[in-house]
Structure 1
Amino acid sequence: MIFKKLSLQENFYVLYVYFILLGIVSDALFYAVLGVQYLNYVSILDALISPFSLLTDSLKLTLALVICFFLLYKYVTKWSYTLHKKYKHKKWYGKIHNIERREKAFKDLEEKKGLAEGLLFLFFILFVSLRLGMGLGKNHKIKTKEIKPNYELTFKDNSQKDVQVIGQNSSFIFYVEHKEKVVSVTPISDNIKQIKRIPKKD
């Protein structure tokens, strides 16, 4: 409904702000679980490209997101209405839901009123939830020392460290050193000379 009232340029600005908020909130929660105040290290551009970068880098996350979003979309647009028609005359259903309000909501949905906004909201909640789950999983591995180095960092003084890279933006790299339980943050341009992936052992 909102998008229909706005011009093409205004819709572009709304989506621009949407993806910035999506990047900031999802990354802030992910790193907060790991004990890092991410907002101290992020720029607007980093926040904007973060969701796209994450989806292109992680096939598993992309597949999980697509499947979950499809199921949610089907539930919102079809399955919930099917259940509503089946149970709306039941007393227990009337106690749980406001029948008139749901009827109006389904009518608006049928006319596609607010559908785009609703889908964007669902995607936001889903993406942030998955990112938070990733943070909790990563934190568990760090605390139990299940983290294995996947990159070799060479610093400007030619010292080297084998680390597990947790994330990276335009200015900082986030990593955990071997057998450590804390996430370290290092500026890339001032300290890092080379970032080299460690080949996986067969």
Structure 2
Amino acid sequence: MIGRIRGTLIEKVPAQALVECSGLGYEIDIPYTTFFHLPESGQEVTLHTHFAVREDAQSLYGFASRLDRDLFRLLIKVNGVGPKLAIGILSGLDAQQFIACVEARDINSLVKLPGVGKKTAERLLIEMTDRISQLEAGFLPAKPGASGDPSIEIAQKTGPDPGEEAEAALIALGYKPQEAAKAISKVAEPDMTSEALIRLALKNMIPAG
């Protein structure tokens, strides 16, 4: 089992990070909540990981904290929740926010997550209520290094249109194109990065409990 990787961040996109460690480059699937905590390319990064092996694929999933990683492991044990849906859940809500939803029986926030219908949300509330008690209380303090108000982030370089990148990222997460376009248009301001647009759009679509 590969439980943690520390190395140089070579490349990052909202759904994946490429980390070089001892000469090897690891492609690691990540939720957006982890993407927002990544340093700039070329800097050292540490990710808590889960290695999954199937007949047709081997996948490595990475998370900014052990709490997020351990919650991911609990989520994929829920009937009907695979790694892709678990990553989607942790892209809209970090572990602390998800735990708060479960404790508050907040089904409304859960059904706003892509791929989570009412039945899945109800199943999550039922099965995760007991399972989250397995997470150590010591994991609960907020993660360091979170950026400030994303609305003040501005684009530092030219490139693809940030709005189009943000829409594509939300669609890849599971939102419908119309939902993605509407969410981005509500928060878009001049010179915002795609990262800022995604973060604000998700914040509006899935408000913290």
TM-score (normalised: structure 2): 0.24
For the pair shown, which has the larger CA radius of gyration, 1 or 2? 1
Q: Which has the higher contact order (CA 8 A, sep 6+)?
A: 1
Q: As a proportion of its length, which structure holds more helix?
A: 1
